[in-house]
Chain A
Amino acid sequence: MTKVTTGNGIQSGKNGKEPFHERLPDGIPDFEKIENSSSFRELMRRKKRFLIPTTILFLGLYLLFNIVISYTDWLNATFIGDITWVWVFAFGLFAMTWILVTIYMKRAAKFDEMAKNTLKEFEYDEEETK
Chain B
Amino acid sequence: MNATVISIFVFIVGITLVITYFAAKRTNSASDFYTAGGGLTGWQNGLAIAGDYLSAASFLGIAGAIALFGFDGFLFSIGYLVAYLVVLFIVAEPLRNLGKYTLADMINARFNAKKVRGAAALSSITIVIFYMIAQLVGAGALIQLLFGIDYIWAVLLVGIMMTIYVLFGGMTATSWVQIIKAVLLMIGTVILSFLVLKNFNFNILEMFTQMKTATPHGEAYLSPGVKYKIPLDTISLMLALVLGTAGLPHILMRFFTVKDAKTARSSVMWATWIVGIFYVMTIFLGFGAAAFVGSDLITATNPAGNMAAPLLAQALGGDVLMSFISAVAFATILAVVAGLVLTGASAFAHDIYGQIIKKGQATERQQMLAARYASLGVSAFSILLAIFAQSLNVAFLVSLAFCIAASANLPVILYTIFWKRFNTTGAVSAILTGLISALVLVSLSPSVMSPEAGAAIFVGDPIFPLTNPALFSVPLGFIGGWVGTMLSKERDLKKYSEVNVRANTGGFRQL
Contacts and interface: CB of A to CB of B under 8 A. Distances in A.
A70 B75 CA distance: 11
A52 to B, nearest CB: 10
B208 A32 contact: no
Contacts of B89: 51, 54-55, 104
B90 interface: yes
B498 A94 contact: no
A41 to B, nearest CB: 11
Contact of B508 (A17, A29, A66): A29
Nearest to B233: A70
B357 interface: no
Interface string A93-119: 110111011101100100010011011
A49 interface: no
Contacts of B98: 10
Interface in B239-295: 239, 242, 262, 265-266, 268-269, 272-273, 276, 279-280
Contacts of B262: 108, 112
Given A55-B89, A71-B231, A130-B509, A115 B223 contact: no
Contacts of B90: 51, 55
Given A83-B205, A86-B224, A105-B266, A94 B509 contact: no
A94 B269 contact: no
Nearest to B224: A69
A81 B276 contact: no
Contacts of B272: 97-98, 101
Interface residues of A, number: 69
Contacts of B266: 105
Given A101-B269, A104-B88, A40 B501 contact: yes
Q: How large is the interface on B (under 10, 10 to 19, 20 to 34, 35 or more residues)?
A: 35 or more
B372 interface: no
B4 interface: no
A118 B82 contact: no
Chain B interface mostly helix, strand, loop or mixed?
helix
Contact of A129 (B112, B224, B498, B508): B508
Given A4-B511, A54-B89, A130-B509, A21 B498 contact: yes
B7 to A, nearest CB: 38
Interface string B43-77: 00000000000000000000000000001001100
A66 B234 contact: yes
Contacts of A66: 75, 234-235, 238
Contacts of A94: 78, 81, 276, 279-280
A81 B501 CA distance: 54
A104 to B, nearest CB: 6
A35 B453 CA distance: 60
Contacts of B495: 19
Interface stretch (B165-173, B179-187, B323-331, B359-367): B359-367
A35 B500 contact: yes
Given A31-B501, A70-B235, A126-B507, A98 B359 contact: no
Given A86-B224, A94-B81, A62 B504 contact: no
Contact of B276 (A82, A97, A105): A97
Nearest to B350: A8
B369 to A, nearest CB: 16
Nearest to A89: B78
Nearest to B362: A7
Contacts of B268: 101
Interface in B128-158: none
B80 to A, nearest CB: 10
A101 B510 CA distance: 29
- Give 10 nearest A-B pairs by CB, closest first: A70-B231, A115-B505, A31-B497, A82-B208, A69-B224, A81-B205, A31-B498, A7-B360, A35-B497, A129-B510
29 contacts: A3-B510, A7-B361, A8-B360, A11-B112, A12-B498, A16-B359, A19-B492, A24-B511, A31-B500, A35-B501, A40-B501, A51-B90, A55-B85, A62-B79, A62-B82, A66-B234, A67-B235, A82-B212, A83-B205, A87-B71, A90-B78, A93-B81, A94-B276, A97-B272, A105-B269, A119-B507, A129-B509, A129-B510, A129-B511
Interface of B: 71, 74-75, 78-79, 81-82, 84-86, 88-90, 93, 98-100, 105, 108-109, 112, 204-205, 208-209, 211-212, 222-225, 228, 231-232, 234-235, 238-239, 242, 262, 265-266, 268-269, 272-273, 276, 279-280, 354-355, 359-362, 492-495, 497-498, 500-501, 504-511
Given A19-B112, A98-B272, 6 more contacts: A9-B510, A63-B239, A69-B225, A82-B212, A108-B265, A124-B507
